[in-house]
Structure 1
Amino acid sequence: MAKKQKRIHHKLIRAMLIQLVLISGVTLLSVYGAAKVVEKVLIKQALEGEAEFYWQHYKNNPTSNLPRTLNLTGYMERSSHSEPVPHDLAQLPIGYQRLETRDKRPLVHVSERYGRKLYLVFEEGQVAKLALFFGITPLALVLLIIYLPAWISYYMAKRAVSPVIKLSRRMEDVDANEGFEIDFSDIEENSDAEVDVLLNAFKQYAKKVEEYVDREKNFTRYASHELRTPLAVLKGSLALLERQELDERQQAVVNRMHPMIREMEELLEALLLLSRDQAPEETDSPISLNDLIEEQLFQIQKINSDKDIQVSKVFDSTIKESISERLFCICINNLISNAFNYTEQGFIRITIKDRDITVEDSGCGIHPAALKRIHEPFYREHRENIKVKGFGLGLSIVYRICEQLGWKLDIESKQGEGTKATLTIPKKK
């Protein structure tokens, strides 16, 4: 059974992670925005206020001491009571800016009055540490408080859907070839009403499927056995007829009946094999599929000898495999017969390349709508100019054989141009 990558508990985990990432992202963006507000607004306003306060004192007392604290250092040009202005500060223009030439990248406010420049250098390292302690630490606690309910919500949601997850995993182990008898008792003990609905629906459909399969197998088996009786009568009558003196025309008719009866017997045998559960018997040693194809082609060419068709064979490789000879002959016989039946004149080309067997014709082709339904039993496309006897079972049986044996049949067709059928026989490991 094919497994999908997206499961319910994966979706729950993804939803929780997305929720946590969004919460964390919004929180971190908020902290980053707050830091920028502190840098761009609060510190700037504080330095501007400090500069204005100093200039007012300087106006009354030019010998006022420059600001000097743990985080703030003041410098002034041409001042006897100030340290010399560092060279990197002296190059800065008037205004508020960050000094990029130093490792700590301090914030600097430069103002000018009375013919002198005042440099206020703010070292934000200590402030950043305080912000980290009083900002990030509470933030981590807040995130932890948010993450805990999120994890609890995920745990509760997982418990709520756990019966569905168990049911899904149990269904993965279902093998249709072994029946649908599955023990759901452990799931039913703690299941909700919705899970009970799913279980009951599955049991009902499984029962119907088993009934349909049994009915199909029984019908195929009984029909095949019943059809053997008239075939046996035909074979016996044909054997008696051959003991009589026949002219050339009558003998030709008898000769044409032999391969048709043999083909019908093989078809009935295929139906019986497909109706059984066990795999069909294979040859003890690898056989040449090329030889089987040539045998089938020879028989079909004799029946259609009156048609103006150029038949060519291009065998680029030889396929040898231990397979069911009868089932392979049914498949290849059907494909070649269809090519002859729907080609009045033109060509039929049979190609073998690697593991692909291709039967291509220049016949009437298949309508795109009909091409989608050619695998359906009893389906036949109506064609005005071509009348082919049959019941529309040939290709459906071929598809059934390919499905059971792991072969692949691909049919391409363009109406009015022809059809190409490719049968792929995978190499056994």
Structure 2
Amino acid sequence: MRNSLRFKVALFFSVLTIALLLAQALGVRALAEAQEEKLIAALIRDDMASVLKSYEANPSLLPPFDVRMNGYVSGADQRAITLPATVGNLPAGTREIIIDGREIHVAIASLGAAGRYQRLYRVYDFNIYEKHFKEVVNALMAGTGLFALLTIWLSFGLSGLLVRQVAGLARQVKTLRLGESAPIQPGKYDETELAGLVEAFNDYHRRMAEMMAREKAFTGNVSHELRTPLTTIKTSCELLDQDAAIVGKSRARLQQIERAADTMRELADALLTLAREDSARDVEPVAMASMIETALLPFADRLAQKGLDAAVDVDREIWVMANRSALAIVLSNLVDNAVRHTERGRVQFRYADGWLHIEDTGVGIPAHALARVFDRFYQAGAPRTATPGVGIGLSIVNKICERYGWGVEMDSEAGKGTRVSIRLEVVNRRGPGS
């Protein structure tokens, strides 16, 4: 699933900005916590220096001696805190302990010449200060979240401004595709890259228009040059058909020439139709069995010469939705391919579950060549054993099936035969008038 350019730009800026905001908030929080610890350590150090100096100068100021702690215990505030006995075993210095769920700092120092026998325990409670500090940090993180939401909104707004000209270019290109012939004006776009893209597209559009004009002229010329000799052949056949002196094999040959002329005319019409962009809409209900029988007529002599049976196991009431000329080309190429590669046996047509199957008992196709049989000019046979042909019949079949949305599949086994299957939509089983 594709996302719009605006969405991608907004997502990129949002993620980048939120990541930077989050990194900044976490960095500020870590720095603030470190500074907090340094501030508490400095306060305790200065207070202890002042207390020890005053106690040594005037021992009467010493707090009561605590036998359980084997030292003097004093508090930095008025609240009395009972220290656990384990604190008495700690060395001198500042420690953090948890009492009644609160974090308490205890500074331990020695007094006078008595050394370790006269210790001072100074208790500090910074919980109120730390609580306010956490509230400030939480407010900072909440503010970061609000800025993140604001960033997302701003990113979508700014991305819309950034890609608005790209969207405008897409609309103009669509207008050109729908038939607008005027080139896009690059002066409407401020960005250098977009102006360059417009110029490149205009050049491409101009060359495509010239190529299509040449192709239309070519197809028109081909149509005229093909129809003129075919009309002459058809007219000559009609005149000769009125000659009573032409009988037997000569009349049969004359009829073959007339059918070949009709087939060539239909082929030219179909190929010119395929050259038109809207040809995929030229479809109608056609009788499947009748189309197959018509496609087999030009190959009657070759089938008889090889002794091949042509079996049409298709219900005459089956009608399919197709372009008549295009389907005739497909069937003609498949019949020609089957007859050319089959020396004995049969060529069978059958319709089942929406698929028309054309099966033969010919030489088959090697497994390594099966994937390339629809490639243009590709021939599966070796050069010495290849049958006549230039390798474009199956390519034409594949192109026509792609144009009209007909599925085409091929199964084959060397030495046993080939089956080509075409997916055709059934209109009904009684014809268009039922």
Q: TM-score range by the shorter chain?
A: 0.5 to 0.7
Using the TM superposition, give the Cα deviation of residue 16 of structure 1 relative to its aligned residue in structure 2, in angstroms: 0.1
Structure 1 counterpart of 2:14: 17
- RMSD in angstroms over aligned alpha carbons? 5.5
Q: Is the CA contact 1:316–1:353 (under 8 Å) kept in the aligned structure 2?
A: no
Structure 1 counterpart of 2:90: none
Using the TM superposition, give the Cα deviation of residue 298 of structure 1 relative to its aligned residue in structure 2, in angstroms: 6.2
Classify the secondary structure of the residue corresponding to 2:305.
coil
- Give the letter aligned to residue 196 of structure 2: V
Q: Is the CA contact 1:256–1:303 (under 8 Å) kept in the aligned structure 2?
A: no
CA gap of 1:329–1:146, structure 2 versus 1, over 3 A, is closer
CA deviations 1:118-141 (Å, max 9, x no partner) are 9x89785762343332x3445666
Q: Does 1:26 align with 2:23?
A: yes
- Give the letter aligned to residue 386 of structure 1: A
Using the TM superposition, give the Cα deviation of residue 355 of structure 1 relative to its aligned residue in structure 2, in angstroms: 3.5
Q: Is the CA contact 1:358–1:422 (under 8 Å) kept in the aligned structure 2?
A: yes
Using the TM superposition, give the Cα deviation of residue 267 of structure 1 relative to its aligned residue in structure 2, in angstroms: 0.2
Structure 2 counterpart of 1:261: 261
CA gap of 1:303–1:188, structure 2 versus 1, over 3 A, is farther
Using the TM superposition, give the Cα deviation of residue 268 of structure 1 relative to its aligned residue in structure 2, in angstroms: 1.5
Structure 2 counterpart of 1:217: 216
Classify the secondary structure of the residue corresponding to 2:385.
coil
CA deviations 1:221-269 (Å, max 9, x no partner) are 3222322232233334445267435445x56545544543332121022
Q: How many residue pairs were aligned?
A: 394
Structure 2 counterpart of 1:365: 365
CA gap of 1:59–1:106, structure 2 versus 1, over 3 A, is closer
Q: Is the CA contact 1:66–1:75 (under 8 Å) kept in the aligned structure 2?
A: no
CA deviations 1:367-407 (Å, max 9, x no partner) are 9789669465xx464843233356x6645554554454444
Q: Does 1:5 align with 2:5?
A: no
CA gap of 1:159–1:358, structure 2 versus 1, over 3 A, is same
CA deviations 1:261-295 (Å, max 9, x no partner) are 33212102213433456546544xx4443543354
What TM-score do the two structures reach when normalised by structure 1?
0.65
Q: Is the CA contact 2:259–2:298 (under 8 Å) kept in the aligned structure 1?
A: yes
CA gap of 1:34–1:265, structure 2 versus 1, over 3 A, is same
Q: Is the CA contact 2:6–2:156 (under 8 Å) kept in the aligned structure 1?
A: no
Q: Does 1:127 align with 2:127?
A: no
Q: Is the CA contact 1:109–1:121 (under 8 Å) kept in the aligned structure 2?
A: yes
Partner Cα distance (1:301, 1:98) in 2: 106
Structure 2 counterpart of 1:274: 274
CA gap of 1:418–1:217, structure 2 versus 1, over 3 A, is farther
Structure 1 counterpart of 2:325: 326
Partner Cα distance (1:128, 1:10) in 2: 42
CA gap of 1:21–1:397, structure 2 versus 1, over 3 A, is same
CA gap of 1:419–1:199, structure 2 versus 1, over 3 A, is farther
Q: Does 1:197 align with 2:193?
A: no
CA gap of 1:110–1:371, structure 2 versus 1, over 3 A, is same
Structure 1 counterpart of 2:288: 289
Q: Is the CA contact 1:408–1:424 (under 8 Å) kept in the aligned structure 2?
A: yes
Partner Cα distance (1:183, 1:70) in 2: 87
Structure 1 counterpart of 2:65: 61
Structure 2 counterpart of 1:82: none
CA gap of 1:196–1:35, structure 2 versus 1, over 3 A, is closer
Structure 2 counterpart of 1:339: 338
Partner Cα distance (1:27, 1:420) in 2: 69
Partner Cα distance (1:347, 1:97) in 2: 99
Moved more, 16-25 or 306-315: 306-315
| Fraction of identical pairs, as percent | 22
Q: Is the CA contact 1:73–1:122 (under 8 Å) kept in the aligned structure 2?
A: no
Q: Does 1:163 align with 2:165?
A: yes
Partner Cα distance (2:289, 2:32) in 1: 80
Q: Is the CA contact 1:72–1:121 (under 8 Å) kept in the aligned structure 2?
A: no
Classify the secondary structure of the residue corresponding to 1:10.
helix
Partner Cα distance (1:226, 1:201) in 2: 37
Q: Does 1:388 align with 2:388?
A: yes
Partner Cα distance (2:78, 2:258) in 1: 113
Classify the secondary structure of the residue corresponding to 1:304.
helix
CA gap of 1:365–1:373, structure 2 versus 1, over 3 A, is closer
Q: Is the CA contact 2:65–2:73 (under 8 Å) kept in the aligned structure 1?
A: no
CA gap of 1:190–1:198, structure 2 versus 1, over 3 A, is closer
Partner Cα distance (1:35, 1:272) in 2: 80
Larger relative contact order (CA 8 Å, sep ≥ 6): 2
Classify the secondary structure of the residue corresponding to 1:181.
coil
